Structure 1
């Protein structure tokens, strides 16, 4: 049999269990809104604004983001916005009362554009991302992306080139990577530019011809 996988991490998972006559990876396209810009300069107001967006659950890593923010709040002006639907009781239990003036839970947001435009860093803390759409969208909309070194994320982020990777499940390591970005903000514009170019080149293309080619090859070699 032949297979098309939507990410390398899914490919690796299935290849450990099944055998295929042929296989290839074709990432899904991501649709961008070219009307959305990102006018904010990195920490332009002296505050490092973090964003984590996605379904609320233990596996999505909101705890990493919240704990790292609490660590950094002792040294820097920093804020974290958490967006997503899911277990609200869980995420609220992670935010102590004294941290609610710099960690904000906004629930589900149909339109993330205003949050992306007002953020410096997008955190992708999921332990097992299958595709990494949030990573790619964050790159395109010019948020610096810091992601966990697990799942699909390390296939998408080249560490110190298109973003930063931290040890999954380790808030202190995440805090170190955020602190590095804060203290080396002269490097950030170049990293964001490379990431945006990557997101356009690899994920804003028409994949129908690639899929058709795979289908035709499978018929020829049947």
Structure 2
């Protein structure tokens, strides 16, 4: 059996949707399922190409996600031209996939409708995996959105990675979606030999692209408030590339102008996030709205206390006071309160950390995800074994 994973947009190894896709692919390969991947480029994927286990087919497609802040008549014209260019590449992809003789096309994320158009032309069943809200988490909107949604609605299965994603898209698509939470390779992220809240400084980590949607300013201002309260034994590390140069400079200038350089460290690159997690006590998820919140699960497995914003998929993972803490999104004072609570109630925090590890292993392993997806495949084609 052969599956084609179709990633319309430009991807990197650090992108959460991409990581989740490759985790699924790796698990499928281990179960003897042949996989082909269509992608726009191979940036930062040299190691996977060198492994030679996956057949990569590069199609230089343009992403069709429009920035909400840059929608002008000229933008519409540019995306119209991009869609024409994509149509030319689509015909080449059709020929390749026809020769590959794939059984199912698995479309990863929302972008254009090319994967579905090819599937319909070649009469191959397709599954659509929706991993984002678009406006709320990425600040983007699809070009020809209604047309793309019509194609999504005709898929053999449409997968939502959280109940909140389900709630948004089911009315738009006019159909039921299948809920499959994201999963991670547990052993890759699980840490055993660590202790938390035992050093004089409470270290806090927020990993993810530096953007308005990811809420880094909530974290920075919370640290600032803690210092104003006389709690200065804290440090915050932000790890991630700036979505735009302008916003990254804004964050850096705020830190400098408010005298926080000794308390807030900004790392645009870090080769070993696992080691960085080993050194930190608290893992933050401050996003305005996460479709799922993969980083939250990774932090749980690393035995960090997770503190997350009370929105989106985060509230489906974190049960406040049980396996982590929630704060009011957009309210740095609420976040500062939760950090201070953690520092003052270390026994309660240790119990939350242990419950977080248990929840992550039981509910968010990649094995569970692939079992669910293969069940969906089997409903489409009985030759897929579970």
TM-score past 0.5 threshold: yes
Say if 2:310 and 2:327, in contact at 8 Å, map to a contact too. Answer: yes
Say if 2:207 and 2:240, in contact at 8 Å, map to a contact too. Answer: yes
Q: Which has the higher contact order (CA 8 A, sep 6+)?
A: 1
Equivalence for 1:13: 168
Counterpart CA distance in 2 for 1:147 and 1:68 is 13
Where do 1:20-39 residues align within 5 Å? 20=175, 22-34=176-188, 37=191, 39=193
Equivalence for 1:208: 370
Root-mean-square deviation over aligned CA pairs: 2.0
Equivalence for 1:52: 206
Give CA deviations for 1:33-72 in whole Å, capped at 9, x if unaligned.
4586354432212211111110001111000000000111
Instruction: Give the gaps of 5 or more residues in structure 2.
Output: 1-153
Counterpart CA distance in 2 for 1:166 and 1:128 is 13
Where do 1:54-203 residues align within 5 Å? 54-74=208-228, 75-76=230-231, 77-86=233-242, 87=244, 88-97=248-257, 98-203=259-364
Residue-pair matches, total: 219
Counterpart CA distance in 2 for 1:161 and 1:15 is 30
Counterpart CA distance in 2 for 1:35 and 1:27 is 17
Q: Secondary structure at the match of 1:73?
A: helix
Counterpart CA distance in 1 for 2:173 and 2:188 is 40
Say if 1:159 and 1:165, in contact at 8 Å, map to a contact too. Answer: yes
Answer 1 or 2: which has greater helix percent: 2
Range with bigger deviation, 82-91 or 63-72: 82-91
Structure 1 runs of 4+ aligned residues shifted over 3 Å read 32-36, 215-220
Counterpart CA distance in 1 for 2:343 and 2:324 is 13
Say if 2:215 and 2:330, in contact at 8 Å, map to a contact too. Answer: yes
Give CA deviations for 1:12-49 in whole Å, capped at 9, x if unaligned.
110231211x4321112212345863544322122111
1:151, distance to aligned residue in structure 2 (A): 1.7
- Which structure: larger Rg? 2
1:219, distance to aligned residue in structure 2 (A): 6.9
Range with bigger deviation, 123-132 or 94-103: 94-103
Q: Secondary structure at the match of 2:307?
A: strand
Q: 1:15 to 1:55 in 2, by over 3 A?
A: same
Structure 2-normalised TM-score? Answer: 0.54
Counterpart CA distance in 2 for 1:18 and 1:197 is 35
Q: 1:166 to 1:186 in 2, by over 3 A?
A: same
Range with bigger deviation, 6-15 or 186-195: 6-15
Counterpart CA distance in 2 for 1:129 and 1:35 is 20
Instruction: Give the gaps of 5 or more residues in structure 1.
Output: none
Q: 1:213 to 1:52 in 2, by over 3 A?
A: same
Give CA deviations for 1:130-175 in whole Å, capped at 9, x if unaligned.
1211000000001100000112111110010010110000000000
Counterpart CA distance in 2 for 1:39 and 1:219 is 44
